[in-house]
Structure 1
Amino acid sequence: MYYVEKDTFIHRLNPLDKFFIFIIVTIITFIFYNPWLCFIITAFFTVLIALAGTFRAYSKMVVVIVPIISALLVFQIFAPALPKVVKSFEVKLPGFTLIGYQEGLYHGLVLTGRILAIVAAGALMITTSHPADIVASLRYIRLPYLAGFIITTSLQYVPILQREFVTILEAQQSRGFKTKGFKALIPTLIPLFLISLQRVRQLALTLESRGFGSSGKKTSLREVKPTLKDYAVLAISFGMFSYSIWYRVSVGTLSQIEEFYLPTMTLYGLTLGFLILFMVSVLFLFLRHLRRTIY
């Protein structure tokens, strides 16, 4: 994921608001044990991402995690990581029969919902917040300049390495080199490693020439100060977080694993759907690998 420059209400929000919202969403998804809550949070942030005009960048990340969540669901249905499972069902396939568990399905939905909710909240923060604005916001709350610089550099460096890696692969392919398999790692990783060292050296020289280690007051071309709407969004977010903590302590985790029950045909449909999704994801990755190997 990467920053997408737009002029929307969400882009104009203070990056600190989005950062704290991301932390709050992460905590809420883990203190409750309810998949429907996680899916509602995911849908809400997906709508916000669409309104911000950054859905394309977000969808690329979702495509990457589809094989992970489909595999997670399949394994949790048939081999749940739970101390006690009672409600079992059979999935009859040609030549063999699989034993699944409704508790495993529920647990898999919870884990999947958590992943999707956290990814959606993180995507909203990353794709709508300029890295320099993130540093300026962290400086506003008196976070050390070095800490803000490390966070921003990390966010920027990963996409740069990805682009460099793709460039190296294309260059190797144009020269007729194999770009797949263990033997292809060394010709690919060595240039990437050398480029990374060169970038680090250039960054160090740039920082030194600009007096990064000086003890004077640090300034920035981009100044980000919270406005009234930022304080309002932050107040609403912390209000909902406080209510969630109170509800968790007073009522419980919203767990429905004991009451969770689906009709047999629905279970068959969901289980077969997850199996097909998992196999299609694996087939897609294999064909993608084969295509790159051939071309």
Structure 2
Amino acid sequence: MKQNFILSLHPMTKLFFVLFVGISVFIIPHYGFAYAWFPVLTLLALLAGSEAFKEFISLTLKALVILLIIVFLMQLFFYPGENVLGEWWIFQWTEEGLLYGLSLTSKILAIGAAFILFFRVTEVKDFVKSLEDIGLPPMGAYVVLSTLTIIPEMKKQMNTIMEAQKTRGVETEGSLMVRAKAFIPTLTPLILSSIASTEERAITLESRAFSAPVKKTSLHKLTKGSADRILPIAFLIILILLIVWRVMS
């Protein structure tokens, strides 16, 4: 996966960037600043490679757009305010609701897109290893790893089960009702296979002395380059400058 500058950065450097984005949108509360982060993040995803860019755009559209629309409409119609801009039926929207909706959705978009980009350009195993390197116990690292990988693994198992259903002549495509009928019978084998997989992992970990009270070693090593030492300092300096500018303005 490490093919260019962005992908080759240390996971903690990428995480510092995500934190930098999240903190900066609260230091500079104007929604224009927060919305401006999205094209920047899109450009970074493009520089990371076509695959990362496609996944970034796809996940952003699937995970954030509907949420942003719902949040914006809720704030627009129900946020208390005095300057009424318009009304329809029993609803009315105010200037305060409009501004608060723009402010809230802009922050959600910036932070959400930053996290999506982070996991598109960072392998989970590298992220977990970086957490171990800064002192996270192996048990905690395993919990993080399991949490981050459980949904993709269950999705793979679901696809396998659905393909098996197709080979048996079960109709799995078509209307929503047809897909629902095909989905419900897959829940039992999916749950049972997940339980079996968990048991197999536990046996595998114990066979490798995972719970033994000794110092653990790893063949997987992460190294930091010059950019990984410079960028976190640069992010911190920029945040300090933003705070100073915010206080002085």
Bin the TM-score by the shorter chain. 0.7 to 0.9
Give distance in 2, aligned partners of 1:227 and 1:7.
15
TM-score by length of 1: 0.72
Q: 1:70 to 1:150 in 2, by over 3 A?
A: same
Q: Which residue of 2 aligns with 1:175?
A: 170
Secondary structure (helix, strand or coil) at the match of 2:86 reads strand
Whether contact under 8 Å (1:137, 1:225) holds in the other structure is: no
The number of aligned residues is 239
Q: Which has the higher helix share?
A: 2
Cα RMSD (Å): 2.5
Deviations 1:238-270 (A, max 9, x none): 22223344445x258xxxxxxxxxxxxxxxxxx
Alignment correspondent of 1:38 = 34
Show the 5 A alignment for 1:47-126. Answer: 47-53=43-49, 54-64=52-62, 65-80=64-79, 82=80, 85-90=81-86, 99-126=92-119
TM-score, length of structure 2 as denominator length: 0.84
Alpha-carbon separation, structure 1, partners of 2:155 and 2:245: 42
Tell me, in whole angstroms, the C-alpha distance in 1 between the residues paired with 2:33 and 2:165. Answer: 47
Note closer, same or farther for the CA distance 1:169–1:78 as it changes in structure 2 (3 Å cut). Answer: farther
2:207 alignment partner AA: S
Residue identity opposite 1:203 in structure 2 = R
What is the rounded CA distance, in whole Å, between the counterparts of 1:163 and 1:28 in structure 2? 37
1-structure distance, mates of 2:214, 2:7: 31
**Residues in 2 aligned to 1:170 and 1:143: alpha-carbon distance in whole angstroms:** 39
* Structure 2 residue corresponding to 1:151, chosen from 144, 156, 161: 144
Gaps of 5+ in 1: 253-295
Q: CA deviation at 1:48?
A: 0.6
Name the CA shift for 1:167/1:161 in 2 (closer, same or farther; >3 Å): same
Query: Separation in 2 of the partners of 1:149 and 1:190?
Result: 26
CA drift of 1:186 comes to: 4.9
Q: Does 1:27 align with 2:26?
A: no
Q: Does residue 190 of structure 2 align to residue 195 of structure 1?
A: no
| Amino acid in structure 1 at the alignment position of 2:152 | P
- 5+ residue gaps, structure 2, are 173-177
Shift >6 Å, 4+ stretches: none
Q: Shift of the alpha carbon at 1:170?
A: 5.0
**C-alpha distance in 2, partners of 1:239/1:158?**
37
Percent of pairs with identical residues: 30
Counterpart Cα distance in 1 of 2:148 and 2:84: 44
> Structure with the greater relative contact order (CA < 8 A, sep ≥ 6): 1 or 2?
1
- Quote the Cα distance in structure 2 between the aligned partners of 1:234 and 1:189: 45
